[in-house]
Protein backbone atom coordinates (compact mmCIF):
# COMPACT_ATOMS: atom_id res chain seq x y z
CA UNK A 1 0.00 0.00 0.00
CA UNK A 2 1.31 3.44 -0.93
CA UNK A 3 2.02 5.81 1.94
CA UNK A 4 -1.04 8.05 2.49
CA UNK A 5 -0.72 11.80 2.04
CA UNK A 6 -1.19 12.50 5.77
CA UNK A 7 1.78 10.28 6.74
CA UNK A 8 4.44 12.98 6.32
CA UNK A 9 6.71 14.44 8.93
CA UNK A 10 10.20 15.86 9.17
CA UNK A 11 12.42 18.01 6.98
CA UNK A 12 11.68 16.07 3.81
CA UNK A 13 8.13 17.44 3.84
CA UNK A 14 9.34 21.06 3.57
CA UNK A 15 9.70 22.72 0.19
CA UNK A 16 12.87 24.38 -1.08
CA UNK A 17 11.27 27.83 -0.80
CA UNK A 18 10.57 27.09 2.88
CA UNK A 19 14.22 26.30 3.59
CA UNK A 20 15.29 29.45 1.75
CA UNK A 21 12.84 31.52 3.84
CA UNK A 22 14.46 30.26 7.04
CA UNK A 23 17.87 31.56 5.97
CA UNK A 24 16.90 34.65 4.03
CA UNK A 25 15.83 36.09 7.40
CA UNK A 26 18.73 34.60 9.38
CA UNK A 27 20.02 37.28 11.80
CA UNK A 28 23.68 36.76 10.85
CA UNK A 29 25.01 38.92 8.00
CA UNK A 30 26.60 37.19 5.04
CA UNK A 31 24.69 33.90 5.29
CA UNK A 32 24.40 32.16 1.92
CA UNK A 33 20.71 31.15 2.01
CA UNK A 34 20.97 28.71 -0.91
CA UNK A 35 23.99 26.86 0.48
CA UNK A 36 22.59 26.84 4.03
CA UNK A 37 19.25 25.46 2.79
CA UNK A 38 21.09 22.68 0.98
CA UNK A 39 23.00 21.66 4.08
CA UNK A 40 20.30 21.96 6.73
CA UNK A 41 18.28 19.08 5.28
CA UNK A 42 21.12 16.83 6.49
CA UNK A 43 21.03 18.32 9.99
CA UNK A 44 17.62 17.66 11.60
CA UNK A 45 18.61 19.19 14.95
CA UNK A 46 19.64 22.46 13.26
CA UNK A 47 16.38 22.57 11.33
CA UNK A 48 14.39 22.03 14.53
CA UNK A 49 16.22 24.94 16.17
CA UNK A 50 15.39 27.19 13.22
CA UNK A 51 11.71 26.24 13.33
CA UNK A 52 11.62 27.14 17.04
CA UNK A 53 13.50 30.43 16.66
CA UNK A 54 12.01 33.81 17.44
CA UNK A 55 13.32 35.45 14.27
CA UNK A 56 11.41 32.96 12.10
CA UNK A 57 8.22 33.57 14.06
CA UNK A 58 8.65 37.34 13.71
CA UNK A 59 9.23 37.04 9.96
CA UNK A 60 6.21 34.78 9.63
CA UNK A 61 4.02 37.29 11.46
CA UNK A 62 5.10 40.13 9.18
CA UNK A 63 2.03 40.76 6.97
CA UNK A 64 4.31 41.46 4.03
CA UNK A 65 6.01 38.08 4.31
CA UNK A 66 3.86 35.35 5.80
CA UNK A 67 1.79 33.77 3.03
CA UNK A 68 3.85 35.10 0.11
CA UNK A 69 7.13 33.29 0.61
CA UNK A 70 6.28 30.08 2.46
CA UNK A 71 4.08 27.04 2.04
CA UNK A 72 1.10 26.47 4.35
CA UNK A 73 3.02 23.50 5.79
CA UNK A 74 5.87 25.70 7.05
CA UNK A 75 3.48 28.40 8.26
CA UNK A 76 1.53 25.90 10.37
CA UNK A 77 4.74 24.25 11.59
CA UNK A 78 6.15 27.49 12.97
CA UNK A 79 2.88 28.89 14.32
CA UNK A 80 1.90 25.62 15.98
CA UNK A 81 5.21 25.55 17.82
CA UNK A 82 4.45 29.08 19.00
CA UNK A 83 1.13 27.83 20.46
CA UNK A 84 2.48 24.65 22.06
CA UNK A 85 4.58 25.61 25.04
CA UNK A 86 5.63 22.30 26.62
CA UNK A 87 9.25 21.18 26.52
CA UNK A 88 9.98 19.44 23.22
CA UNK A 89 11.02 15.83 22.87
CA UNK A 90 11.39 13.73 19.72
CA UNK A 91 7.80 12.49 19.95
CA UNK A 92 6.36 15.99 20.15
CA UNK A 93 8.51 17.25 17.28
CA UNK A 94 7.34 14.39 15.10
CA UNK A 95 3.71 15.09 16.03
CA UNK A 96 4.08 18.79 15.22
CA UNK A 97 5.42 17.91 11.78
CA UNK A 98 2.47 15.56 11.31
CA UNK A 99 -0.08 18.20 12.33
CA UNK A 100 1.44 20.94 10.20
CA UNK A 101 1.22 18.68 7.15
CA UNK A 102 -2.35 17.73 8.07
CA UNK A 103 -3.45 21.36 8.46
CA UNK A 104 -1.85 22.20 5.11
CA UNK A 105 -3.82 19.36 3.49
CA UNK A 106 -7.06 20.43 5.17
CA UNK A 107 -6.61 23.99 3.92
CA UNK A 108 -8.23 22.50 0.83
CA UNK A 109 -11.94 22.03 1.52
CA UNK A 110 -12.04 19.14 -0.94
CA UNK A 111 -9.31 17.22 0.89
CA UNK A 112 -10.95 17.92 4.24
CA UNK A 113 -14.01 15.92 3.21
CA UNK A 114 -12.21 13.01 1.53
CA UNK A 115 -10.30 10.11 3.03
CA UNK A 116 -7.59 10.55 0.39
CA UNK A 117 -6.93 13.10 -2.35
CA UNK A 118 -8.70 12.44 -5.63
CA UNK A 119 -11.41 10.15 -4.27
CA UNK A 120 -14.93 10.54 -5.61
CA UNK A 121 -16.67 9.72 -2.33
CA UNK A 122 -16.80 12.60 0.13
CA UNK A 123 -17.95 12.68 3.75
CA UNK A 124 -19.42 15.70 5.50
CA UNK A 125 -20.41 13.93 8.73
CA UNK A 126 -18.39 11.87 11.18
CA UNK A 127 -21.23 9.39 11.58
CA UNK A 128 -20.91 8.49 7.89
CA UNK A 129 -17.18 7.95 8.29
CA UNK A 130 -17.81 5.67 11.28
CA UNK A 131 -20.16 3.59 9.15
CA UNK A 132 -17.59 3.51 6.35
CA UNK A 133 -14.97 2.21 8.82
CA UNK A 134 -17.29 -0.64 9.83
CA UNK A 135 -17.75 -1.67 6.21
CA UNK A 136 -14.13 -1.24 5.06
CA UNK A 137 -11.54 -3.93 4.41
CA UNK A 138 -8.39 -4.09 6.52
CA UNK A 139 -6.32 -1.46 4.68
CA UNK A 140 -9.17 0.88 3.99
CA UNK A 141 -10.25 0.75 7.62
CA UNK A 142 -6.92 2.21 8.69
CA UNK A 143 -7.35 5.16 6.32
CA UNK A 144 -10.89 5.83 7.51
CA UNK A 145 -9.98 5.57 11.20
CA UNK A 146 -7.18 8.05 10.57
CA UNK A 147 -9.52 10.40 8.73
CA UNK A 148 -12.00 10.35 11.61
CA UNK A 149 -9.23 11.24 14.06
CA UNK A 150 -7.86 13.95 11.77
CA UNK A 151 -11.19 15.46 10.75
CA UNK A 152 -12.59 15.52 14.28
CA UNK A 153 -9.38 17.11 15.60
CA UNK A 154 -9.56 19.80 12.92
CA UNK A 155 -13.16 20.58 13.85
CA UNK A 156 -12.47 20.51 17.60
CA UNK A 157 -9.38 22.70 17.26
CA UNK A 158 -9.55 25.02 14.29
CA UNK A 159 -13.35 25.24 14.26
CA UNK A 160 -13.97 25.20 18.02
CA UNK A 161 -15.65 28.66 18.20
CA UNK A 162 -17.97 27.72 15.33
CA UNK A 163 -18.98 24.47 17.04
CA UNK A 164 -19.73 26.20 20.33
CA UNK A 165 -21.60 29.01 18.56
CA UNK A 166 -23.88 26.51 16.80
CA UNK A 167 -24.52 24.61 20.02
CA UNK A 168 -25.27 27.72 22.07
CA UNK A 169 -27.32 29.78 19.64
CA UNK A 170 -28.79 27.21 17.26
CA UNK A 171 -29.46 24.38 19.72
CA UNK A 172 -27.23 21.91 17.91
CA UNK A 173 -26.95 18.76 20.04
CA UNK A 174 -23.24 18.15 19.46
CA UNK A 175 -20.77 20.19 21.48
CA UNK A 176 -17.01 20.22 21.57
CA UNK A 177 -16.82 17.11 23.76
CA UNK A 178 -18.35 14.98 21.02
CA UNK A 179 -15.63 15.90 18.50
CA UNK A 180 -12.88 15.57 21.09
CA UNK A 181 -14.00 12.09 22.13
CA UNK A 182 -14.41 10.98 18.51
CA UNK A 183 -10.93 12.12 17.58
CA UNK A 184 -9.22 10.77 20.69
CA UNK A 185 -10.81 7.32 20.47
CA UNK A 186 -10.19 6.90 16.74
CA UNK A 187 -6.56 7.95 17.01
CA UNK A 188 -6.20 5.27 19.67
CA UNK A 189 -7.82 2.69 17.37
CA UNK A 190 -5.69 3.75 14.39
CA UNK A 191 -2.53 3.46 16.52
CA UNK A 192 -3.29 -0.24 17.09
CA UNK A 193 -3.56 -1.00 13.36
CA UNK A 194 -0.53 -2.70 11.81
CA UNK A 195 -0.36 -0.05 9.06
CA UNK A 196 0.30 2.58 11.73
CA UNK A 197 3.58 0.76 12.37
CA UNK A 198 4.29 0.41 8.66
CA UNK A 199 3.96 4.16 8.03
CA UNK A 200 5.68 5.29 11.24
CA UNK A 201 2.44 6.70 12.64
CA UNK A 202 1.95 4.58 15.74
CA UNK A 203 3.83 6.95 18.11
CA UNK A 204 2.16 9.99 16.50
CA UNK A 205 -1.34 8.61 16.91
CA UNK A 206 -0.54 7.45 20.44
CA UNK A 207 0.62 11.00 21.30
CA UNK A 208 -2.52 12.50 19.80
CA UNK A 209 -4.75 10.11 21.74
CA UNK A 210 -2.99 10.48 25.09
CA UNK A 211 -2.26 14.23 24.92
CA UNK A 212 -5.25 15.17 22.82
CA UNK A 213 -6.30 18.22 24.83
CA UNK A 214 -2.80 19.70 24.67
CA UNK A 215 -2.63 19.52 20.86
CA UNK A 216 -6.25 20.55 20.37
CA UNK A 217 -5.76 23.61 22.59
CA UNK A 218 -2.65 24.55 20.62
CA UNK A 219 -4.50 24.38 17.31
CA UNK A 220 -7.34 26.50 18.69
CA UNK A 221 -4.90 29.14 19.98
CA UNK A 222 -3.11 29.19 16.64
CA UNK A 223 -6.40 29.56 14.76
CA UNK A 224 -7.44 32.43 17.01
CA UNK A 225 -4.12 34.20 16.44
CA UNK A 226 -4.45 33.74 12.67
CA UNK A 227 -7.91 35.33 12.69
CA UNK A 228 -6.74 38.34 14.70
The tens digit of pLDDT for each residue in 5-52 reads 999 887 666 788 888 888 877 777 667 777 777 777 778 788 888 899
Closest CA to 54 of 96, 14, 26, 89: 26
Choose from 60-64, 119-123, 168-172 the range with maximum mean pLDDT: 119-123
Give the model's pLDDT for residue 199.
96
200: left (phi over 0), alpha (psi -120 to 50) or beta: left
Q: What angle do CA 204, 52, 67 make, to 5 degrees?
A: 90
Give me the chain's average pLDDT, please. Answer: 89
- Indicate whether this model's pTM tops 0.85: yes
Buried/exposed code over 121-144 (b: 16+ C-beta within 10 A; e: otherwise): eebeebeebeebbeeeeeeebbbb
Q: What is the pLDDT of residue 227?
A: 60
Q: For residues 140 and 137, what is the distance between their CA atoms, to the nearest angstrom?
A: 5
Amino acid sequence: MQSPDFAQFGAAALEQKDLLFLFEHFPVPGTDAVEAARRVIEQPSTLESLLESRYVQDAMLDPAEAWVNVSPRLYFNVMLRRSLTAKRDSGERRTIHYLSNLLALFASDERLHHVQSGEAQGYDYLVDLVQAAREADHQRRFLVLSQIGNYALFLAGWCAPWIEHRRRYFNRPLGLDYYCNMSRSHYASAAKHDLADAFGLKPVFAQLAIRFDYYRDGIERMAGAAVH
